[in-house]
């Protein structure tokens, strides 16, 4: 057995002040990963795709100069993104309303839960591709159909998360309400709904992004009617204009990130004061 | 042997009575058998017993959170102070809003709610923390908040389900002291459950020992010390003797489980 060898430990040396160190810790890792991914992109563009095949995947700087730099086309893309966003927002609002109502009813009555559940899962399991012709037949290829696709995309996480939240109240809290003869309504409004808010927001973040994807996918497959991001992508791809295709995709992606951030921000505003999320240390 | 309460001097109205209460769960597990206890106003009765002996079940039966399968329970359930093992605060409510919850559930108006809450908050020493959310409070402060919540309705009967098990020793003794002072001031009836014999002796007028499952009261001890009790009491020989006696009884009662 080895002997004990005590060592003196001083305070940990700090080279940078705490704040900038923390900022660096947040910013540097994604930057490094971003650099690696950009490297892979260049590699794909210049090494894998030789000669004329390079048009299939423009390198990053080409996307910036020929895509984002092309103000006429960028304007078109942004306008299309706006239309897709509008569709997605309407779909999301409908999904939120239906989702929260369903989850509330399911949390209050087991029979409702049992009745609805199999169809929720089926709805989630249906490939949207298979639904597109049916929806187009029933509702044509206009805005209504697009909104329906958004709702189908975003309803499931809304219901699942809200229901999970509504059912996650502690037994102790339930006992407290029982002891004080709380009615079903009081229990719902004073205990279950406030307690479900963190889960509802988790669902909202997912649903919001999915609604956006739903809007783009619907536009992509309907291929007619009001031009959204989906049709833009189809068009640029058929013109084998790789920089513009990638720009449209990047805009869709940035749009999704913004939506995610906005909902995260609202979440922090609403439940951040009291909610301690798992995996985060302290308040 | 079932315990019949020997009435303490000045014992008030009956607040809670168990007559041969038994509880057998649907799966056949017998949690509690032939428990006979009564608690009067101005009495603080503590039940000590091994883990899983059915102490909590007994409290839940008293509060009506659980039905019993044998015997009779006499209690007024319209206003019971129930202090849970966990503080069970609603994390989205501030200290004041948490304390206001019970008056709110009982339909009191805003001004009354506010007044009752502020009084209770002051009583437990949380004044100045009204606007804090539970996540920013220490374990002891959360427990105080929970106590304040149950105080708002001034219930004649308090049921305590091992409320101080999760706080540190110093805080625990301080909370023992404060509960004891509160009990003396309000003369409510208390039924307290704990694992700690010294906590039981320090606060109670009577200590009952419960055996392992099926839980039944094997013996009752009357605590001879008057109120208010001072922390020094814990170091007196008579205090230690009584703790020792109860501890021996508890060990025998727990051993029954192995039979």
Residues B148-190 have pLDDT tens digits of 999 898 899 999 999 888 888 888 888 888 888 888 888 889 9
Best interface-test mutation with B: which of A170, A171, A173, A176 has the largest number of B CBs within 10 A? A176
In this prediction, residue A222 carries a pLDDT of 83
Between B90 and A56, residue with greater pLDDT: B90
User: Which residues in chain B are contacts of A181 at CB distance < 8 A?
Assistant: 105
Minimal Cα–Cα distance from A270 to chain B, Å? 10
Q: Which of A172, A180, A275 sits opposite B102 (nearest CB)?
A: A180
Cβ neighbours of B71 (radius 10 Å): 17
Best interface-test mutation with A: which of B59, B66, B82, B92 has the largest number of A CBs within 10 A? B92
Q: Which of A177, A179, A275 sits opposite B91 (nearest CB)?
A: A275
Residues 6+ apart with CB under 8 A from A216: A84, A228, A229, A230, A233, A252
Cα B229 to Cα B206, B225, B233: the distances in Å are 14, 8, 7
Best interface-test mutation with A: which of B100, B101, B162 has the largest number of A CBs within 10 A? B101
In this prediction, residue A278 carries a pLDDT of 54
Q: Give residue B1's pLDDT band: very low, low, confident or very high (50, 70, 90).
A: very low
User: Which residues in chain A are contacts of B64 at CB distance < 8 A?
Assistant: 179
Is A195 within 8 Å of B88 when comparing Cβ atoms?
Answer: no
Q: Which of B65, B92, B105 sits opposite A186 (nearest CB)?
A: B105
In this prediction, residue A39 carries a pLDDT of 92
In this prediction, residue A155 carries a pLDDT of 92
Which chain B residue lies closest to A194 (C-alpha atoms)?
B92
Helix or strand or coil: residue B220?
strand
Minimal Cα–Cα distance from B236 to chain A, Å? 38
| Helical axes A128-139 vs A193-222, angle rounded to 10° | 80
A65 touches B: beta carbon within 8 Å = no
Q: Give residue B8's pLDDT band: very low, low, confident or very high (50, 70, 90).
A: very low
In this prediction, residue A185 carries a pLDDT of 95
Minimal Cα–Cα distance from A189 to chain B, Å? 12
In this prediction, residue B32 carries a pLDDT of 87
Minimal Cα–Cα distance from A186 to chain B, Å? 8
In this prediction, residue B117 carries a pLDDT of 93
Q: What is the mean pLDDT of chain B?
A: 87
Is A175 within 8 Å of B65 when comparing Cβ atoms?
Answer: yes
Q: Which of A180, A271, A275 sits opposite B105 (nearest CB)?
A: A180
Q: Which of B88, B92, B106 sits opposite A172 (nearest CB)?
A: B88
Q: Which of A150, A147, A159, A88 is nearest to A121 (CA)?
A: A159
Q: Which of A176, A190, A283 sits opposite B88 (nearest CB)?
A: A176
Burial of B106 (0-12, 13-18, 19+ CB in 10 A): middle
Round to whole Å and give the CA distance between B134 and B98: 9
**Residue range B13-28: average pLDDT?**
88
Q: Which two tokens stand for residue B241?
A: 């003797």
Cα dihedral value B132, B133, B134, B139, nearest 10: -30
Q: Give residue B4's pLDDT band: very low, low, confident or very high (50, 70, 90).
A: very low
Q: Check if the interface score ipTM surpasses 0.90.
A: no
Burial of A67 (0-12, 13-18, 19+ CB in 10 A): buried
Residues 6+ apart with CB under 8 A from B124: B144, B145, B147, B148, B151, B178
pLDDT tens for the 283 residues of chain A, in order: 567 888 888 777 666 667 777 888 888 998 999 999 999 998 888 888 877 777 778 888 888 888 888 888 888 889 999 999 999 999 999 999 999 999 999 999 999 999 999 988 888 888 877 887 888 888 887 888 889 999 988 999 999 999 999 999 999 999 999 999 899 999 999 999 999 999 999 999 999 989 998 888 888 888 788 888 888 888 888 888 888 888 888 898 898 889 888 988 888 888 888 887 654 444 3
**Residue range B72-85: average pLDDT?**
88
Minimal Cα–Cα distance from B45 to chain A, Å? 21
Strand partners, B215: B32
> How would you classify residue B51: left for phi > 0, otherwise alpha for psi between -120 and 50, otherwise beta?
beta
A276 touches B: beta carbon within 8 Å = yes
Strand partners, B16: B39, B75
Intervals of CATH 3.40.50.300 along chain B: 1-13+24-79+155-259
CATH superfamily of this structure's domain B1-13+24-79+155-259 = P-loop containing nucleotide triphosphate hydrolases (3.40.50.300)
Beta strands B14-24; B157-161: pairing state: unpaired
pTM summary value: 0.81
Is A274 within 8 Å of B135 when comparing Cβ atoms?
Answer: yes
Q: Kindly tell me if the per-residue pLDDT of B53 is higher than 80.
A: no
Give just the sign of the alpha carbon dihedral A7, A9, A15, A20: positive
Q: Which two tokens stand for residue B201?
A: 């002796």
In this prediction, residue A15 carries a pLDDT of 64
In this prediction, residue B166 carries a pLDDT of 81
């Amino acid at each position: 057995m080895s002997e004990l060898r005590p060592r003196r430990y001083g305070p940990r040396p700090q080279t940078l002040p705490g704040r900038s160190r923390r900022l660096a810790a947040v910013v540097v890792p994604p930057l490094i990963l971003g650099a690696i991914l950009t490297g892979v992109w260049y590699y794909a563009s210049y090494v894998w795709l030789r000669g004329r095949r390079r048009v299939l995947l423009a390198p990053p700087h080409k996307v910036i100069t020929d895509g984002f730099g092309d103000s006429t086309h960028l304007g078109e893309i942004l306008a299309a993104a706006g239309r897709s966003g509008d569709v997605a927002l309407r779909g999301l609002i409908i999904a939120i309303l239906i989702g929260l109502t369903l989850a509330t009813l399911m949390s209050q009555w087991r029979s409702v839960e049992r009745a609805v559940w199999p169809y929720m899962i089926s709805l989630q399991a249906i490939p949207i591709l298979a639904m597109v012709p049916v929806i187009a037949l029933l509702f044509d290829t206009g805005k209504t159909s697009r909104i329906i696709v958004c709702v189908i995309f975003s309803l499931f996480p809304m219901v699942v998360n809200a229901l999970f939240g509504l059912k996650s109240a502690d037994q102790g809290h339930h006992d407290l309400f029982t002891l004080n003869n709380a009615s079903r309504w009081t229990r719902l409004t004073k205990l279950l709904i406030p307690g479900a808010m963190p889960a509802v927001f988790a669902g909202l973040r997912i649903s919001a992004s999915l609604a956006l994807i739903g809007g783009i996918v619907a536009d992509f497959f309907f291929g007619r009617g009001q031009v959204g991001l989906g049709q833009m992508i189809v068009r640029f791809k058929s013109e084998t204009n790789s920089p513009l295709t990638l720009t449209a995709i990047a805009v869709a992606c940035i749009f999704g990130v913004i939506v995610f951030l906005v909902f995260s921000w609202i979440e922090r505003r609403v439940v951040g004061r009291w909610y301690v999320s798992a995996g985060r240390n302290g308040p | 042997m079932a315990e019949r309460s020997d009435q303490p001097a000045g014992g008030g109205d009956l607040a809670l009575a168990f007559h041969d209460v038994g509880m057998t769960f649907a799966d056949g597990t017998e949690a509690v058998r032939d428990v006979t206890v009564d608690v009067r106003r101005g009495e603080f009765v503590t039940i000590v017993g091994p883990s899983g002996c059915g102490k909590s079940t007994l409290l839940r039966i008293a509060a009506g959170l659980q039905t019993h399968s044998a015997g009779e329970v006499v209690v007024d359930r319209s206003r019971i102070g129930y202090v849970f093992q966990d503080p069970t605060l609603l994390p989205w409510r501030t200290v004041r809003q948490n304390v206001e919850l019970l008056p709110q559930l009982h339909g009191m108006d805003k001004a009354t709610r506010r007044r009752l809450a502020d009084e209770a908050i002051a009583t437990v020493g949380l004044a100045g923390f009204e606007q804090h959310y539970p996540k920013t409070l220490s374990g002891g402060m959360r427990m105080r908040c929970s106590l304040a919540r149950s105080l708002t309705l001034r219930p004649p009967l308090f049921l305590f389900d091992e409320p101080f098990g999760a706080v540190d020793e110093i805080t625990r003794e301080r909370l023992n002291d404060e509960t004891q002072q509160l009990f003396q001031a309000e003369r409510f009836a208390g039924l307290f459950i704990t694992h700690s014999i010294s906590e039981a002796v320090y606060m109670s007028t009577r200590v009952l020992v419960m055996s392992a499952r099926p839980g039944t009261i094997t013996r009752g001890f009357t605590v001879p010390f008057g109120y208010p009790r001072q922390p020094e009491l814990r170091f007196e020989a008579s205090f230690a003797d009584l703790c020792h006696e109860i501890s021996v009884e508890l060990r025998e009662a727990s051993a029954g489980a192995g039979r």
